[in-house]
Chains A and B, each alone.
Chain A
Amino acid sequence: MRLIASFGSFRKSKSTLVLFCIYSLSGLGILPLVLGDGLFSENMFIEVITQYPLLYLFPALFLFYSLISPISVIDYERDFIFSSPVMSKDFFVAKTLYDMTLIMFILFLPFIISFVAILLLVKLFYVIMFSLIFLILAISVMLENSFKVLILFYSRNLVRLLIVVILFVFCAPVPLAVLYHDVPTLINLISPIGASQEILAGLGGPSNLVAPTASVLAWAIFSIGLWSWASQFNFIPLAQVVPLRAAFDTSFRYQVQKQRLMLEKVGRFSIPVSFEHAPENKILFFAKESIVRTLRFGDLYGLLLTAVFLSLPYFFVGDSASFSFLQQGSFFVLLLPIFFPILLTQLWITEFSDYFWILKTFSYEIKSYVFGVFFWQLLFYLPLLAISQTIVVIIAGSVGFSVIFYSLLLSLADSAFGVFYGVWIIRRRSFTPYVYMMGMLFFVLVSLPILIPFLIGEMVNLTPFLEITLTLFSFSYSVIATVVFLNRAIAAFREMEL
């Protein structure tokens, strides 16, 4: 029933299905890159799949979830299932199976469609590899669900301590792998991921497979035992009620519910900032209000996480790729002014869309509001530019001044477009995947007249005249785009019906 409800968004809109297909086929897009870069050798492939920190990240994330919240139920489950004679054990089993299905569906669908479909036909090796990956995910999900129940019945601190210990053991090989690229076998064996890696490495040579296989099996038995034990507890009266998390559901209803939950959970941990006093200047006043909103919803953590995700490939594959550190760093720095306005705009419209009536009813400072939101986007982006550029300078050992200049131009044009795009969505009063996809496409299109001159400058040795011409063109475009988008946003805001 939960699966039906979770995938119900596919029935609601055809564009949801389109988004899903694009996501699923994105794996096929990765494949030529892998093949093209010559990564399709067996050893390289194993290395990429098994050493990449993402593989550790997901199990760690599931365990971390059990640290911060107990087992949850959806509101209709509480009202209809728990008021019927369904036993908590049956519900627990169903929930674990649901979690496994959803997680494997969401995380691995692109890989299943591309890698698995093609590679399973090639070698038994890949069957073992993917089986081990799925087994580790199953272990993580069972541990997560077990701890989420146990934390309700035993000392919270004791259970949390146990989770931290297991989290530490799970991820023990990570720091060594990152720092030394070589992990001692013993350390690998205590982690199920490390042990799986040992099994895969052992398949190709004379290594001993007994110890790593025993380690993985021990983890599987431990997680099943813990899970069986947790299933005996009647957690129904203590479960936390949450809104339905629907796959690929980009609707306002879902986004707003999610934000509300974030506010309740993360709000109390946010950086303390008061809105009882605000600058007299109206633009700064609205910018401060937006900052308060961003901090209290915990968006700052999300934005930082996104920055980390965007930068991870740079740190982990930078030294083995054919591009220089500075070139890769430039790419990473230039991604941010495109991605961040998209994210900030989506946060703005989902968190503030219900409250536009206040501005429309009482204020005639629409211009200040639009500029305030624009300024807020820049305020969030500029420190990030400084940090990311510093990281690149530290790693690459040189400063890319043109990157700083072009990313500033990008941030101006994309932030202004973000405000305009936000107003457009509010006018539509719907946030379907179609709107979402079109927005992303337009953000990229808006960026192209700045990105292309930059890339030309990087790849071709230009005469000073051409270089100045391209720079002037990008600069003029950025200023004109900023002015046009902000003005259109103000006009559209005035015309907006609520």
Chain B
Amino acid sequence: MLDSTFEKYDPNRATLYVYNLWKAYDGVPALNGLSLYMNRGEVLGLLGPNGSGKTTTIKIVLGLLKKDRGVVNVLGYDIDKDPYSYKRWIGYVPETSAIPEYLTAYEFLYYVGRIRYMPGEALKRRIDFLLEEFDLSDKRKNLVTSLSKGMKQKLVFSSALLEEPKVLFLDEPFIGIDPEGQYELKSMLKGLVQEGCSILLSTHLLDLAERFCDRVAIISKGRNIVSGNLQELKDIAHAGKDTTLEQLFLTLTRESSSQGGVELEGAKKKGFFSLFKR
């Protein structure tokens, strides 16, 4: 394994620190000691084949999944010791945007804002601004179920940006959004990055990662193969200067897949009565 993960790590600049992260689903390993970090004002691309552990990593960082082992630190908060405080400063766009279809576009944003403790008037102003920004103003009274896939995705983006986050977690965020919408979103995200926001972008779109990300971390079978900017990856892989990220990705992941995985003893399915156990 090529491991240059923490060579340039600076704890004063890092907004995300993940070290030796392990996770298994019913005995099947999903993460095998993954490590990565992300700096303030940086876009980190999380790349990897299907089932490599990208979504699992993001879900553990967000507190949606429990890790088996490892350290996760977001904005200086150890999520084991303080699992809530950091959530105020994060935004999340999930891979499949399941949003309450019985609410209107405005009501959904109001719901998210309220559970994030945003004060009434400020919340309303912010919702109006985001609906305008994402071209959804005329849909504010429409039920979510009546919106197109792209519109729903814009709405999820709006919810992630409600409180001007310091760290954004985007899991395949551009699927279903038309080219114009993608362009607008990318411009908006670049603006956020310039203001100091960090973005962890999980994607299969390698050309997007090549153009949009400051650094990438390529993971396979639940562990990171390599991380760095494009030039660093080329140096590590001894690739030529015209080598694309796609070629690097294929070379590195194929090398990795020839190595075996690690079997873990997994947790058993929890029965009804286990809920009464302390």
B98 at the interface (CB under 8 A from A): yes
A363 at the interface (CB under 8 A from B): yes
Q: How distant is the Cα of A360 from the Cα of B92 in the complex, in angstroms?
A: 11
A357 touches B87 (CB 8 A): no
B1 at the interface (CB under 8 A from A): no
- The contact of A357 among B98, B114, B269, by CB within 8 Å, is B98
A275 touches B64 (CB 8 A): no
Interface residues on B, range: 20 to 34
Stretch at the interface among B195-203, B223-231, B270-278: B270-278
B115 touches A358 (CB 8 A): yes
Within the complex, the shortest CB–CB distance from A108 to chain B, in Å, comes to 34
Within the complex, the shortest CB–CB distance from A268 to chain B, in Å, comes to 9
A361 touches B62 (CB 8 A): yes
Take A285-B114, A355-B99 as given contacts and tell me if A361 and B275 are in contact as well, using a CB distance cutoff of 8 Å: no
Take A358-B115, A362-B116 as given contacts and tell me if A498 and B107 are in contact as well, using a CB distance cutoff of 8 Å: no
A363 touches B116 (CB 8 A): yes
B276 touches A355 (CB 8 A): no
Take A263-B143, A275-B110, A488-B275 as given contacts and tell me if A361 and B99 are in contact as well, using a CB distance cutoff of 8 Å: no
B101 touches A260 (CB 8 A): yes
B59 touches A275 (CB 8 A): no
Residues of B within 8 Å of A297, CB to CB, are 102
A160 at the interface (CB under 8 A from B): no
Interface residues on A, range: 35 or more
Take A357-B64, A497-B66, A498-B64 as given contacts and tell me if A364 and B114 are in contact as well, using a CB distance cutoff of 8 Å: no
Residues of B within 8 Å of A363, CB to CB, are 87, 115-116
A248 at the interface (CB under 8 A from B): no
Q: How distant is the Cα of A264 from the Cα of B112 in the complex, in angstroms?
A: 23
Take A293-B102, A360-B63 as given contacts and tell me if A438 and B115 are in contact as well, using a CB distance cutoff of 8 Å: no
B112 touches A362 (CB 8 A): yes
B11 at the interface (CB under 8 A from A): no
A296 touches B116 (CB 8 A): no
A458 at the interface (CB under 8 A from B): no
B100 touches A360 (CB 8 A): no
For chain B residues 150-181, which have a beta carbon within 8 Å of chain A? 159
- The contact of B87 among A361, A420, A442, by CB within 8 Å, is A361
Residues of A within 8 Å of B145, CB to CB, are 260, 263-264, 267
Residues of B within 8 Å of A77, CB to CB, are none
A360 touches B102 (CB 8 A): no
Mask of A142-153 contacts with B, CB within 8 angstroms, 1/0:
000000000000
B112 touches A292 (CB 8 A): no
Within the complex, the shortest CB–CB distance from B86 to chain A, in Å, comes to 11
Q: How distant is the Cα of A491 from the Cα of B275 in the complex, in angstroms?
A: 8
7 A-B pairs (CB sep. < 8 Å): A276-B110, A289-B111, A354-B98, A357-B98, A363-B115, A423-B275, A442-B272
Q: Other CB < 8 Å A-B pairs besides A267-B143, A424-B275, A492-B275, 19 of them?
A: A263-B102, A264-B145, A275-B107, A276-B104, A292-B103, A293-B100, A293-B102, A296-B143, A351-B102, A358-B111, A361-B90, A362-B115, A362-B116, A365-B115, A427-B270, A427-B275, A488-B276, A495-B66, A498-B59
